[in-house]
Amino acid sequence: MNSNSPQTVDSLIHAEWIIPIRPANTQLKHHSIAIKDGVIVDLLPTELAKQQYCSTNTHELEQQLLMPGLVNAHGHAAMSLFRGMADDQDLHSWLQNHIWPAEAQWVDAEFVKDGSLLAIAEMLRSGTTCYSDMYFFPDAAAEAVQDSGIRAQFCFPVLDFASTWGSDADDYISKGLAARDKWQHQPLLNFAFGPHAPYTVSDQPMSRIAALAAELDIGIQIHCHETQQEVTDAINKDGERPLARLNRLGLLGPSTQLVHMTALNDADIELVRLSGAHVVHCPASNLKLASGFCPTQQLLELDINVALGTDGAASNNNLDLFSEMHIAALLAKATSGNAAALGDWQALEMATLAGAKALGLDHKIGSLEKGKQADLIAIDMSNIEQQPIYQPISQLVYTHCASNVKHSWIAGTQVLHNRQPTQINLTQLAQKAQQWRDKIQPAQH
């Protein structure tokens, strides 16, 4: 074979801009990505790429920007079927008076599969290629992942009390581990423990989760310090702040994902820093439920890893991670009194590499580097709302780009083409969502 002949790859993508995330603060103009066996094999100037590589699957993306797919580090995907059902409530009444009764009545494997597919379609169309899910019936959610081609982490929920999926903490743990065993060879799926919150899981199952997670080397995701009320109640009940309790029980470590984290004092933040745990910031949901403000700038200044999540569509009401970037950046500025807080680059990292790191996947995804999985999205930058372009990063964070996501690939397979998911029928999906509404709505009155 002639040493000068081009190397054949599975896909070759030429773009106007590439934002690889690593090296940091890098914007590449007229570069290309070569993909083989689901992996990025090269990232180089387009002129060189056309000389060195050939592919029957070549994409010329004029006026488009390539970047890593977004990582939604916390949500409840199937709750998309409850979107808009109980708006304008505080967290306590939203959960106790609306969500938990609705879940008891409606949530089963079919609900979870249909609701997950609805969420996945929305996430793919808004740039998310990997999401973390904490919800019941993970087997059904895993089927939705398999059907759609998206990447996911399933944090199977653990509670002291019964639901339609489990009877008590031991039952949840047993069922969650069985689901993990069943799906562990699915390359796009990871499993983690999902103890719901400090106030819904008692000490004994918390300690058991800590021991099992360490033994199995898997993550733990938990809602924590979501409101000041949660912290005050814990102090009144046990004389101990929730984070201090989790630390005492062995739950805080480098594989722990702490979601929300609005009511923090300096001692709480120091516990997180020393443990190496990750924080998952859900700005829109926290605002909508009036839960409080996560001190993101303070956390970032202490080198605590902060990822972004949408939470579920029942409390957001969308799964648009570009919107979360925007809100997170503005909130950090307002709450710190510093207009330079959480700049556009940091916001973009939170939605990509920081999310991957929180999920323990940063060796695979989160940046466009040789040897990593080819999880990437293409964004059309030609629209009038993005003009003129001085800094592409600024447009990504501050001009609402979700509806401009045109294509996406996960492990090298195209899962979104011209805004259409390649493995999901949107017409059928909308019909199913409407059928669920027609069943659920009469029961709400």
pLDDT of residue 444: 67
The confidence score (pLDDT) of residue 442 equals 80
Place of tokens 């074979």: 1
pLDDT at res. 86: 86
- Residues recorded for the chain: 445
Q: What is the pLDDT of residues 142-183, one digit of tens each?
A: 999 999 999 999 999 999 999 999 999 999 999 999 999 999
DSSP state of 384: G
Kindly state the percentage of the chain with pLDDT values over 90.
Answer: 93
* pLDDT tops 60 at residue 425: yes
Which contacts (CB < 8 Å, 24+ apart) does range 24-33 have? Answer: 24/345, 24/349, 25/345, 27/391, 27/392, 27/393, 33/66, 33/368, 33/374, 33/376
H or E element: which one contains 325? Answer: helix 321-336
Judged against a pLDDT cut of 50, whether residue 1 lies above it is answered with no
Question: 411 is written with which tokens?
Answer: 């492990």
Q: What gap in Å lies between CA 107 and CA 51, rounded to an integer? A: 55
* Summary mean pLDDT of the chain: 96
Distance, in Å, from the CA atom of 213 to the CA atom of 368, rounded to the nearest integer, reads 30
Are 197 and 208 a contacting pair, CB within 8 Å? no
From CA 162, how far away is CA 70, in angstroms rounded? 34
For residue 61, which amino acid is it? L
Percent pLDDT > 70 in the chain is 99
Which of the four pLDDT bands, split at 50, 70 and 90, describes residue 90? confident
In terms of C-beta distances under 8 Å and separation of at least 24 residues, what long-range contacts does 108-112 make, across chains too?
Answer: 108/137, 108/164, 109/137, 109/139, 109/140, 110/140, 111/78, 111/81, 111/137, 111/436, 112/78, 112/136, 112/137, 112/140, 112/141, 112/144
Bond prior to 138 in cis (omega within 30° of 0): no
Return all residues near 242 (Cβ < 8 A) that are at least 6 apart. 198, 199, 224, 225, 230, 231, 234
- Provide the strand spans (E) within 164-288: 189-195, 219-224, 256-260, 278-281
Give residue-wise pLDDT tens across range 109-127.
999 999 999 999 999 999 9
Residue at token pair 């009940």: 237
pLDDT confidence of 12, banded at 50, 70, 90? very high
Residues 6 or more apart whose Cβ sits within 8 Å of residue 441? none
Q: What is the rounded average pLDDT of the residues 415-424?
A: 98
Average pLDDT over residues 416-422: 98
What is the per-residue pLDDT across 320-376, written as a single tens digit (0 to 9) for each? 999 999 999 999 999 999 999 999 999 999 999 999 999 999 999 999 999 999 999
Rg of the chain over all Cα atoms, to the nearest angstrom: 22
Nearest to 397 by CA among 13, 14, 15, 19: 19
Domains of the chain: 7-68+365-419 (2.30.40.10), 70-358 (3.20.20.140)
Average pLDDT of the segment spanning 286-299: 95
pLDDT in tens, 395-411: 999 998 999 999 999 99
pLDDT greater than 60 at residue 283: yes
* 266 pLDDT more than 90: yes
pLDDT at 445: 56
pLDDT digits (tens, 9 = 90+) for 219-228: 999 999 999 9
What confidence score (pLDDT) does residue 3 get?
59
pLDDT in tens, 182-215: 999 999 999 999 999 999 999 999 999 999 999 9
